[in-house]
Structure 1
Amino acid sequence: MKRMALPALVGIVLILCIAPAHAVEILRWERLPLAVPLMVGQERVVFIERNVRIGVPAELGDQLRVQSAAGAIYLLANAPVPPTRLQLQDVETGALVLLDIAATSAKAGQPPLEPIRIVFADALPQSRNTAAARDIDASAGMPDAEQRTSDAPGATPIPIVLTRYAAQNLYAPLRTVEPVAGIGRVNLQRELDLESLLPTLPVRARALAAWRLEDQWVTAIRLSNTSSRWIELDPRVLQGDFLTATFQHPDLGPVGDSTDTTMLYLVTRGHGLAESLLPALSRFDAAMNLPPAAAAGQVEGARDEK
């Protein structure tokens, strides 16, 4: 059974934009104020997926209620509000996002306003530009362009972009999944043997899908608990050669419970998942490397004990 709750991802710090089931209006922040119309008496949600402080002009008083929680901002106008600018400041970086709001009374038969999701231009890597920059750097003898891009302030690391994209494809409505330049679906061996992935845990693993961006792959793996106890998921128990590993949930509930299944996202560099797994361990036979006589004696001893 698949669990329905969507707690934060663990393993590496990733911000996943899991959109709600209804339609969402997407606004891109490119240092230009974003218009956010409001209707009196109707709450509008703005998903920003960052920890922000909200600056509200004091003159609004009781006209506007502003609340924030877990990367979402809730705006409710109790009376008409003239065009006003709100400032959202990223707590970690100090960067500002500007919202121009205005609240009017709803007209008869006017549908509710959709939630808004704010995306940032630096979150989408430009693969074509990166390739061009790599060619230029190669001819000039400069460091690899991909590494330079990853180190640039504000650049989103490719593993985060891939993992976020994979989680959106598996958990969010497809119409809300924003395309990312350069990401493509790759063929996946469905019956891939994953017994060596978590050999110390009573879980069943199955690879579901994989995507690629430049020289990195992300593979989504479904994990199911096969025991009657809770299992804590720790990326340190994973066996294999992985760039990053992220669990959708921090633990697995007992088999048969709604929490007994989750997703694992593994990012690899230079190849897919199959080449990153360790060889499966076969059952060990203690008599395998003994001389023939000793091996025969061990067998006879085992029979005598019976």
Structure 2
Amino acid sequence: MNGQTPASTAVNGITPAQQMISSCSGALLTSLLVTPLDVVKTRLQAQNNPLGKGKYFVYSNGLMDHICVCENGKGWYKAAGQFRGTFDAFYKIVCCEGITALWSGLPPTLVMAVPATVIYFTCYDQLCAALRARMGERAQEAPLLAGAIARVGSATVISPLELIRTKLQSQKQSYSELTSLIRSAVQAEGWWSLWRGLGPTLLRDVPFSAMYWYNYERGKSWLCQWYNATEPTLTITFISGAGSGSVAAIVTLPFDVVKTRRQVELGELQAKNLSGPVSSSTFSIMKKIVAQDGFRGLFAGFFPRLIKVAPACAIMISSYEFGKAFFRKHNQERIPRQLHSTNT
């Protein structure tokens, strides 16, 4: 009986705790490798709103976003001029700000990125297994629904923590001042004020997650048949993750551009100590972008987002699947040992 306990509480042969460890290691590795690409993407998207003295700049590593303060023209951001493209942006950022600027704000981002990723991937696996058992002939659609639900859950849970972190980074204030600020916001606008900005994030991330997991599972299954593999290899998971991530990134890019514009406006309003609505609705911002830059404006940063998302998805899912395979093998080997020790 003791040997059957882990399997009875596991999904696909591993426990939720083991899923969390696998997703945590994947989040750390992905953040370290792809943050520079997303910094460049965000700069290209936001350069139509240049930042001046005392303004703020938004960085993202694909897992979580953060606003960094620039005081007296020093610190996080220095004027690097207009970027002509991806490689020009890399060159100018490194020359004007140093190579470490490509990883600006990474430590505080990881504080949010790791728990968000752990919640997201663990919930997806648990939901997908449960839905497949109940959907019968439509079990192939379970990844689409599970991916969407898992993203809504993780984004909703982490949103108040991200708001607190953003406030701490964007203004110099003590924890008591922050507590007073949050209390007054809740009194004025209700508890929903802690989830400010969640809407455009969900508009981008929920369709992305649904498309990503559906295409990933289908691609992985197809490649296993192509290579006559009984289990997906590291190469299969890497290719499937990169391909599905690329498709989802292209489709949801306009919402990513809007998210960047909204967060830049948030920083500008905070720098000027202005109150009131941070920005207009998502679709109003889209209309404004189209009026200013045409439909091409909705796909600003296309290439850097693509070369960031594809390897990010590939590295994250490969690391996650590798971790799960490691723990699955460990559990399978442990059960016979436990049964043998019980019998002796």
- Larger RCO, structures 1/2 (Cα 8 Å, 6+ apart): 2
- Larger radius of gyration, structure 1 or 2? 1
More strand by share: 1
User: Normalising to structure 2: TM-score of the pair?
Assistant: 0.21
More helix by share: 2
User: Normalising to structure 1: TM-score of the pair?
Assistant: 0.23
